[in-house]
Amino acid sequence: MRLWSLHPEYLDARGLVALWREGLLARKVLQDQTKGYKNHPQVDRFYAHLQPTVAIDCYLWYVYEEAVRRGYHFDVGKIGPKQRCSKIPVSDRQLKYELNHLKTKLRLRDLSRYKKILAVKKPRAHPLFKEAKGGIESWERK
């Protein structure tokens, strides 16, 4: 499971669809509606939020909006109503790590998207996250 800290604009079609599916799975985990993934490190930062389900819904709303911008049709009925929530911190080095990870994936599966983000040096965070100085996050599997 990868719940990108990067802005969803960087993802290719395959990555955006996978993020939507994995976000929905994380939502079920947070609502205790699944047997697996309960201790997945990618979900820990949502568990740490004061309102975990609201936080994952906020996260998914931004993914949904990116999908709509691209003309995709995701089922918004699978998430809660759009509402405001407090941001989750993410380190600048985590964002750079994820950008490099994404570039590696895109170089193999979507060369045109790879070329579009190749020059990005300071990536934008997903709007749910607030960038802070720091190293690669402890929940990241390297």
Q: What is the pLDDT of residues 125-140, one digit of tens each?
A: 999 999 999 999 988 8
Range of the domain at 105: 8-132
* Percentage of the chain modeled with pLDDT above 70: 99
In a domain, 40, yes or no: yes
Residue range 24-52, pLDDT digits in tens: 999 999 999 987 777 788 899 999 999 99
In a domain, 138, yes or no: no
User: What's the pTM?
Assistant: 0.94
In a domain, 140, yes or no: no
In a domain, 42, yes or no: yes
In a domain, 26, yes or no: yes
In a domain, 137, yes or no: no
pLDDT at res. 1: 73
pLDDT at res. 24: 97
Tally of structural domains, the chain: 1
Q: Give, in order, the Cα–Cα distances in Å from 44 to each of 69, 78, 105, 109, 112.
A: 29, 21, 24, 29, 33
In a domain, 37, yes or no: yes
pLDDT tier, 120 (very low <50, low <70, confident <90, very high otherwise): very high
Assess whether pLDDT exceeds 80 at residue 141. Answer: no
pLDDT at res. 39: 75
In a domain, 115, yes or no: yes
**Cβ distance 89 to 126 under 8 Å?**
no
